[in-house]
């Protein structure tokens, strides 16, 4: 055995030959430090605290959470909730505005009821007929009226000073004043071209009621006494033109008018004056007479 070890050493000087372990040649024991090398605190998972204890899993997660910011949809938590609050406020405002606009439009659509088609059929008929319902001329007037204006009979309605459908006249300041009506182009209205403009004398507290020889040519609503006079003047101009052209017309010239100052009261065009009958309510009527000759 000795000779073999010597031979190997001679052939390979750098190689140490260790004979197998026997009772005479036990193998050397490695150093304790190399076999029992303790891991450093940095290599231990989770690290070791100052007190020498290893941290628990919740402690590790808490430390990890502290080291990183929490986000929602890429936004930090305060920014995310601020955006949510702003969106909720805008949505609530839009819904409230839409509901308020709808309710406002609904209230507006029902706040203006249809205006009454007229007022006080008894007073209107009394103004037209004055108790002479059997007069033939009155029947002709009715047929003319039906073709010119609506024939709906006004219903009795109490009016107030602020009622916009009550015709106005300017009384008593206009009583016995002379008025010249104008057309839409701002020019006075003659009966025939080249003649003097038509003039009317206004009369307060006057109702020219129908008689056996007079009748209403037509009736229509006008907001003022002057508007009624303009209708009368335009009618006379058209009537004279039709006569010149041999066009068959009836009713005669408008020589007087009367308005009823009640809710939706009518403007009456008359072929004569007849009788002044206010039927116990003089403040409800105003009239006017044509001063210009129809010849």
Give the least confident one: 100-109, 111-120, 156-165.
111-120
Q: Which residue has the higher pLDDT, 194 or 111?
A: 194
- Beta bridge mates, 204: 286
CA angle at 152 for the pair 146 and 155, rounded to the nearest 5° = 145
**Average pLDDT for 56-70:** 63
Residue 100, burial from CB neighbour count under 10 angstroms (0-12, 13-18, 19+): exposed
Crossing angle of helices 136-148 and 121-129, in 10° steps, is 130
pLDDT tens sequence across 252-262: 999 999 999 99
- pTM beyond 0.85: no
pLDDT tens sequence across 227-248: 999 999 999 999 999 999 988 7
Q: Tell whether the model's pLDDT for residue 47 goes beyond 80.
A: no
Cα distances (angstroms) measured from residue 129 to each of 126, 173, 252, 270, 274: 5, 29, 18, 12, 11
User: What pLDDT was estimated at residue 166?
Assistant: 94
How many other CB atoms are found less than 10 A from the CB of residue 155?
A: 13
End-to-end CA distance of the chain: 173
Q: Which residue has the higher pLDDT, 118 or 292?
A: 292
Cα distances (angstroms) measured from residue 295 to each of 190, 192, 233, 234, 253: 12, 10, 14, 16, 10
**Average pLDDT for 103-111:** 59
pLDDT tens sequence across 119-175: 444 444 445 444 444 444 444 444 443 334 443 434 444 444 578 899 999 999 999
Euclidean distance between CA atoms 111 and 113, whole angstroms? 6
- All structural domains of the chain with their residue ranges: 121-151+164-290
């Amino acid at each position: 055995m000795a000779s073999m070890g010597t031979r190997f050493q001679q052939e390979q000087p750098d190689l140490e030959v260790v004979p197998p372990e026997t009772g005479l040649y036990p193998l050397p024991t490695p150093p304790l430090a190399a076999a029992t090398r303790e891991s450093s605190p940095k290599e231990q998972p989770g690290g070791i605290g100052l007190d020498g204890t290893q941290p628990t899993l919740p402690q590790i997660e808490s430390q990890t959470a502290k080291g990183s910011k929490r986000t929602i949809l890429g936004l930090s938590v305060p920014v995310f909730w601020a955006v949510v609050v702003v969106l909720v406020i805008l949505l609530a405002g839009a819904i409230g505005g839409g509901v308020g606009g709808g309710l406002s439009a609904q209230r507006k659509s029902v706040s203006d009821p249809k205006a009454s088609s007229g007022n006080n059929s008894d007073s209107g008929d009394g103004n037209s007929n004055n108790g002479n319902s059997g007069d033939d001329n009155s029947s002709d007037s009715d047929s003319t009226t039906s073709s010119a204006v609506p024939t709906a009979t006004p219903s009795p309605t109490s009016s107030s000073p602020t009622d916009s459908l009550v015709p106005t006249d300017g009384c008593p300041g206009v009583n016995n004043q002379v008025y010249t009506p104008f057309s839409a182009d701002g020019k006075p209205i003659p009966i025939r071209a080249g003649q003097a403009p038509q003039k009317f004398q206004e009369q307060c507290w006057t109702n020219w009621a129908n008689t056996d020889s007079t009748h209403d040519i037509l009736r229509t609503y006008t907001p003022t006494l002057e508007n009624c006079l303009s209708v009368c003047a335009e009618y006379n101009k058209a009537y004279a033109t039709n006569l010149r052209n041999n066009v068959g017309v009836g009713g005669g010239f408008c020589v007087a008018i009367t308005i009823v100052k009640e809710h939706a009261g009518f403007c009456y065009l008359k072929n004569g004056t007849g009788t002044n009958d206010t039927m116990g309510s003089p403040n409800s009527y105003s009239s006017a007479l044509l001063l210009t000759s129809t010849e």
